[in-house]
Amino acid sequence: MAPAKLRLEFVALLVAIFVFANNGETRKVNVAIPTRGMPVIAFSAALERGYYREQGLDVQLILISAGVATRALIGGDVDFATVGGAGLPPVLSGAPLRFVFTTFNRPMFWLYARPDIREVKGLKGKRVGVSNIGSGPDSLLRETLKRSGMEGGRDVVVLALGLQGNIYAGLLSGAVDGAVIAPPFNFMAEEAGFRELVGFIKEDFVELQGAIVVREALLQSDPALVQKFIRGTLKGFRYARENRSGTVPILAGNLKIKQDLAARIYDAVRPGMTPDGTLSEELQKKALGHV
């Protein structure tokens, strides 16, 4: 399916946001986020720096797992969702959603396993935890297994464990033998003695993270609201991308971790940020190829 059919309309809306001015009214906006970590740093920075307030928006970032967030968005329970790969399968199935912005185009996930599992092929017959079936991490895992001659669900049991903290807890407890996890849990897994099998950010994958996904109905009924939200987010994105010293404390506060660990996370995933929140047609096609 061509990217145009998916309506990944990054460029048009990012240009349009500059022609609408704030009229002084305040509007509450509920935004579903799957984590408080780096994937949503543009939104966190925009909130912390007051960029949404400048647009007359009272933004609430609500922590919801990616799969549930997509359903909440479709049902109108939230105004926007920041899911990435998890939002693509519903769109491919005809869900009335549009991607209008993305913070990252490379996946900020790592595949860790018990120390006795030395390579991806060693996962055969084992259990691996992901956030949700059909999510970006799930797609990355299945493609990685495929490259090693295996199939997720047949050769490897793939378990949906929800939020990142739950996935890491499953790895620690032995409920799963491997896990697809994001910072800071990859660093925590390393310190706990687990083995890194794949660092997806270093591989040839394209994965949307920190995206803005919106219902077509809202885009049609209140385009000014959508553009204000994008404008505030874009300012947060630029701040996070260019201001390491100011962003690290925001990340540390969100995750309740020390700033030195937050700095490690920032440095590890900063290369995966898009230049301006948009994707080329080539990268859009590549992202769809991993769904």
The per-residue pLDDT for 180 is 98
Choose the weakest-confidence range: 8-12, 94-98, 106-110, 159-163: 8-12
- What pLDDT score was predicted for residue 10? 52
The CA-based angle 197-202-205, given to 5 degrees, is 100
Q: In three state form, how does the secondary structure of 34-47 look? A: CCCCHHHHHHHHHH
Tell me the mean pLDDT in the region 25-42: 93
Here the tokens at position 150 are 């295996």
The confidence band for 22, taking pLDDT boundaries of 50, 70 and 90, is low
Give the tens place of pLDDT for each residue, 141-161. Answer: 999 999 999 999 999 999 999
- Tell me what the pLDDT averaged over the chain comes to: 89
pLDDT tens, residue by residue, 168-183: 999 999 999 999 998 8
Per-residue pLDDT tens digits for 181-198 = 988 899 999 999 999 999
User: Going from the N-terminus, what domains does the chain have, and what CATH number goes with each?
Assistant: 3-106+206-289 (3.40.190.10), 110-202 (3.40.190.10)
Q: Tokens at residue 31, please? A: 């935004």
265-288 burial code (b ≥16 CB/10 A, e <16): bbebbeebbbeebbbeeebbebbb
| Tens digits of residue pLDDT in 262-284 | 999 999 999 999 999 998 778 77
Q: How many CB atoms lie within 10 A of CB 8?
A: 25
In this prediction the pTM is 0.78
Residue 116 has pLDDT above 60, yes or no: yes
Distance CA 241, CA 244 (A): 7
Dist CA 49 CA 42 (whole Å): 10
For 223-264, how does the pLDDT look when each residue is reduced to its tens digit (9 = 90+)?
A: 999 999 999 999 999 999 999 999 999 999 999 999 999 999
25-58: b or e for each residue (b if 16 or more CB lie within 10 Å)?
eebebbbbbbbbbbbbbbbbbbbbbebbeebbbe
Type of residue found at 190: E
| pLDDT confidence tier of residue 121, bands split at 50, 70 and 90 | very high
3-state secondary structure of 278: coil
Q: Which structure tokens are listed for 192? A: 């706990």
